[in-house]
Structure 1
């Protein structure tokens, strides 16, 4: 292996590691706030990539129709929940316009837009914005329908629910996009010289976007009231409830951020590789490996773990491409052993 090949492998490892860092951040966030091991994270990656690919192919993405369906289900759940409790029933007329706007009007407006606009003629930034408008609201809707009723259940019950949501979304992905994979147009064709090696402009865009987003999230957690509420919920759910932090609102916000991160990761990787309805799961699973480095609690360690996973995957693909996935997932075994030996057992919080 000469220096030019090593430079290419390091570049590839840093690019993929940056994606895994974002996904690990989303997984840590969701688990810290809601105790949910978010298995469907990969489906948001696939939905983001395939929705954008459908637009660029001149097709109206069926994810817009799924958004309408999820909105109707979430609206029905909200209405039933409000009508069941007398105190909430009295406040329902005041809340009804907000519920209708969030769960019915907005999804229908997005769906109508995908049916009336020539999507393939839109600028790429507009296509990306519309993709995020379709996929991101699915996060809080799924939380409202599948997870909020189980907010106080055990982690095992939440994991079973997460598995069910994952399987349902995989099936919906197959129905909406078919078994064939797709990719999107490149963001740029620019190349940069780094010594004797070439650096892809696409890789630079990915790394800069990930770094900017992580920085924005850092300031969001540290400088905004809702960010501090999320941090409080992640540190101590019971204490957060006692000081007035809404656990359900925190859960919806964490799922919104996770859905946005997943969809953005799908958009970022789609120009590099073919994405199909089930490939997002494997990508998110590598983000989960990175999250395990941080014990599903530490964001900086999870980010470092993500870069390590990206570099291991890159060099494994060069030395032993047939065993690339095996090598990546074997890395988690010593980490789990180390965590098991050094961590104290803590009873699950009620």
Structure 2
């Protein structure tokens, strides 16, 4: 291995690690606030990439019907909760969700997205898919928010399996690979840096810095941090656990969809590709014990570098090498952490 090969492998490792870091952060965010290990996180990645692929291939955006179905199901849950609580006044958010779903679905199905500029395609992808995060929380997890972590994990796995089936139905078994954001490349000596790789790294850094600023500087961010540190104390201070859960799922879906849009020009994404990608982000999150954001990000970048260099030395075993790393990490965490009973 010479310097040029090592530099190329390092570039790929950092690019992949940036995506894994985003997914690791979203997994840690959701888990610390809601105690839910978000197994369906990878589906947002594959949905984002495949939706962009459908737009650029001129296919109808049938995923819009999924947004409409989720909004109707969430509205039905809201009406049922109002009836059970004896309330007669309808929340203004109820018709607003239905109007939003109708308008976005109309725009997705009626407009010719194949010839539109890339920023408009990305914006429509975000409008279609990001609301599915809080809708998923409302339908699946909010009714059982007080359940044990084991029950939440089982339900999360069930949601993942259901979404993989929906992805196969909506997008089909064929993969998709989209056009890069720009065709330019940066020459550094004998090393050629892909413009899409630079997009991935820069957008990932912006998202990480933006999340840090939100949690450190804004009132809502501090409220979510309080919910992560002490759920009962945050509830006593008037911080709604429902709001915290929906906000975390919104951030997770945003990160997942953006990650899918970023990596779609770099590799072919299939309907079930998201699980493997998010699983590597989960390995990075384990570095931080599912509680430390910096450690999770560093661990995810390390996973990306290990995966990239493994393709040179043992490409047939790169996945095995990455996932075997979780065993010593879990052993170290088990031996170095103080065990407490889970709160009732």
Determine if the TM-score, normalized by the shorter chain, exceeds 0.5.
Answer: yes
Q: How far does the alpha carbon of each residue in 1:262-294 deviate from its partner, in whole angstroms, 9 at most, with x for none? A: 001000110000001000000000000000000
TM-score, reference length from structure 1: 0.97
Matched, 1:190 2:184: yes
Unaligned residue ranges in structure 1 (runs of 5+)? none
**Corresponding residue number in structure 2 for 1:347:** 341
TM-score, reference length from structure 2: 0.99
1:254 to 248, 256, 259: 248
**Corresponding residue number in structure 2 for 1:310:** 304
Contact 2:310-2:321 within 8 A present in 1 as well: yes
- RMSD between superposed Cα atoms in Å: 0.8
Question: Secondary structure in 2 aligned to 1:169?
Answer: helix
Question: Secondary structure in 2 aligned to 1:199?
Answer: strand
Give me the whole-angstrom Cα distance separating, in 2, the residues matched to 1:206 and 1:124.
15
**Corresponding residue number in structure 1 for 2:26:** 26
Matched, 1:100 2:132: no
Shift of 1:202: 1.1
5 Å matches for 1:1-350?
1-86=1-86, 89-90=87-88, 92-93=89-90, 95=91, 97-102=92-97, 104-350=98-344
Contact 2:62-2:109 within 8 A present in 1 as well: no
194-203 or 152-161: which moved more? 194-203
Give me the whole-angstrom Cα distance separating, in 1, the residues matched to 2:93 and 2:85.
19
Give me the whole-angstrom Cα distance separating, in 2, the residues matched to 1:306 and 1:170.
24
Give me the whole-angstrom Cα distance separating, in 1, the residues matched to 2:39 and 2:28.
12
Contact 2:64-2:109 within 8 A present in 1 as well: no
Give me the whole-angstrom Cα distance separating, in 2, the residues matched to 1:183 and 1:253.
30
Give me the whole-angstrom Cα distance separating, in 2, the residues matched to 1:142 and 1:131.
17
Give me the whole-angstrom Cα distance separating, in 2, the residues matched to 1:263 and 1:122.
19
Shift of 1:12: 0.4
Q: How far does the alpha carbon of each residue in 1:21-55 deviate from its partner, in whole angstroms, 9 at most, with x for none? A: 00000000000010000000010000000011101
195-204 or 250-259: which moved more? 195-204
Give me the whole-angstrom Cα distance separating, in 2, the residues matched to 1:193 and 1:121.
31
Question: Secondary structure in 1 aligned to 2:36?
Answer: coil
Question: Secondary structure in 2 aligned to 1:187?
Answer: coil
